[in-house]
Amino acid sequence: MSLINKFKAGVAEAGNKAKTVVEINRLKMQNSSKQNEIEQQYQEIGRLVFEAREDDAWPIIKEQLDPNMNRILQLKFEIEQNLLQIANLSDEKPCRSCGATVAIDVRFCPKCGHTFEIIDQPIEVNEEESQQHTPLLSERSNKEE
C-alpha cells in the first residue's frame, strides 16, 4: 500500500471516529435533557402531593399522578435506548449488576466481578411470522432475558 493510500485510509478512519464521537455526544446531551425533564416531572408530582395535602384532599387520586408517572417511564425508556445506541457505537456494554460501562469483549466486570454470559440459543422463527414482522434487536434481547 502506498503512502498516499495509507494517508487516505487514516483520514477516512479519523473522519469516521469523529462522526461517532459527535453522535455519542448528541445522545448524551439528549439523555441529559431527558433527565432534567424527569426531575421536572418529580417536582410536579411533589407539587400535586403538597397541594392535595394542603387542601385536605389526601390521599391523592392515582389518576392525578398517572400522566407524570407515564412520562417519567417513557423518558427512562428513551434514555435506556440512547445508552444502548451509545454502547453500540463505542463498542462498550453496561454491566447489568453494577451499571459500569465495560469493553464489549470482557467476560467479567472489573468493578463488581459480574460474569457476562454468552447465550447461544437459536431463535425459533415461524415462517409466517417472519414475513409479517421482523423483531428489532432490542426486542430480541428483551425476549431472551
Residue 122 is classified by DSSP as: P
Residue 124 is classified by DSSP as: P
Per-residue CA distances from 32 to 67, 74, 100 (Å): 21, 15, 18
Is there a cis peptide before residue 59, judged by omega within 30 degrees of 0? yes
**pLDDT attached to residue 137:** 43
**pLDDT tens for the chain, residues 1 to 145:** 688 888 888 888 888 888 889 999 999 999 999 999 999 999 999 999 999 999 988 888 889 999 999 999 999 999 999 988 887 888 777 788 898 888 888 888 999 998 887 655 555 555 554 444 444 444 444 444 4
Cβ neighbours of residue 94 closer than 8 Å, sequence gap 6 or more: 83, 87, 100, 101, 102
**pLDDT attached to residue 141:** 42
